[in-house]
Amino acid sequence: MSLDALAAAIRNRRVILFVGGGITQNLGLPDLSVLVRYIRERMGLDSGNYHLRDYPILAEAYVLGEGKIGTLRSWMDVTWHPKTVDVTRSEVHNLILDLDFPVIYTTNYDHWLEAAYTARGKPFHKVTSVGDLTRSDGQTTEIIKFHGDFDDDDSIVLTETSYFQRMSFETPLDLRLRSDSLARPLLFLGYSLHDVNTRYLLYKLQQLWDNSAWSEQRPTSYILMTEGSLARETVLRHRGIEPLVVEAADPGTATVKFLRNLRDRVRRPASSREAGQSRSQGSTKKQTRSTAVKRKLGKHA
């Protein structure tokens, strides 16, 4: 089963977590539709002409008018960090910490993941630029802010231009991801496959291996899907990504259910794991003996 293989890789501290906006929404925080409305209202734009998918070009138009991203970034920082949120009560964040990933990439600009580590007293090293990469000790969990951080205006990937630059896949953080993805499995949480940026990232990771002579050695990566889709699952498997489908009306509920199950498998005592493997091997041997007997009977029939 895919989940057993994933649990074993996590137990051996090989899996890299990739965290998307769905994890932040588990805290009751808004999605980027709030950003679209804010920019539209500030610029006096017609509400009927712009949708959630338009936020990069709206952000670019806003920054072109203001001359910098600072004012917009400040508004987003306040909006996504209300004082009413207590991240210590977020089961999703606590489960992520329980699983103890060595490296976490996140496309979220907010600080809730770092706050969860701080609250639990677990050390982490935040990476927003190439300079931060040089200061890692190789032991502490790295939280790599793949789309930037509210503390650094220059790091924010929000406008259409910054997304196009990111899609070139040639920045220092991209090169780090390319290196990591060639060596270790990735687990994607909190991502919607309706988002073209997510699909493009998965496509680019596939291209790295397709252009390699060692493509058959690619480690299997995984993505949590909270709604089944045969077409998407087929494409994902072709790209070396195993879809793990946990359907629920609320994506947050599905994510908690998945992470609980995964944590329990990771923590399962070695004796229980060995017993399960033994039963599996015994069943395989019985099937092999049964097949051999049938072949012999067939020869003498």
Sequence spans of domains, the chain: 2-27+87-157+167-268, 33-79, 272-301
**What would the pLDDT profile of 286-295 be if each residue is shown by its tens digit?**
554 544 444 4
Between CA 29 and CA 175 the distance in angstroms is 31
> pLDDT at position 85, please?
96
With contact defined as beta carbons under 8 Å apart, do 96 and 51 qualify? no
Residue 54: enclosing H or E segment and its boundaries? Answer: none
Euclidean distance between CA atoms 276 and 182, whole angstroms: 30
pLDDT at residue 169 greater than cutoff 90: no
* Percentages of the chain per state (helix, strand, coil), in multiples of 5: 60, 10, 30
pLDDT tens-digit map of 121-159 = 999 999 998 889 888 887 899 999 999 999 999 999 999
Q: What is the mean pLDDT of the chain?
A: 86
Counting residues of the chain whose pLDDT is more than 90, the rounded percentage is: 55
Query: DSSP string covering 148-200, please?
Result: -BTTBGGG---SHHHHHHHHT--SHHHHHHHHHHHHS-EEEES--TT-HHHHH
| Exposure string over 10-42, b if 16+ CB within 10 A, otherwise e | bbeeebbbbbbbbbbbbbebeebeebbebbbee
Q: What is the pLDDT of residue 140?
A: 92
Gap between the terminal Cα atoms of the chain = 38
CB-CB contact of 163 with 194 (8 Å): no
Evaluate if residue 100 carries a pLDDT over 80. Answer: yes
More confident residue, 14 or 195: 14
Decide: 59 and 39 in contact? Cβ < 8 Å: yes
Least confident of 6-20, 93-107, 191-205, 258-272: 191-205
Q: What's the one-letter identity of residue 185?
A: P
From start to end of the chain, where are the E strands? 16-19, 103-106, 124-127, 141-145, 186-189, 221-225, 241-245
Mean pLDDT, rounded, for 228-253: 89
**What element of type H or E holds 135?**
none
Per-residue pLDDT reduced to its tens digit, 109-126: 999 999 999 999 999 999
Using the predicted structure, report yes or no on whether residue 296 has a pLDDT greater than 50: no
Q: What gap in Å lies between CA 176 and CA 8, rounded to an integer?
A: 24
Residue 26's SS3 state is: coil
Residue 297 confidence (pLDDT)? 41
pLDDT of 278 higher than 80: no
CATH class of this structure's domain 2-27+87-157+167-268: alpha beta
Q: How far is CA 283 from CA 90, 274, 278, 280, in A?
A: 41, 14, 8, 5
Question: Predicted confidence band at 269 (pLDDT cuts at 50, 70, 90)?
Answer: confident
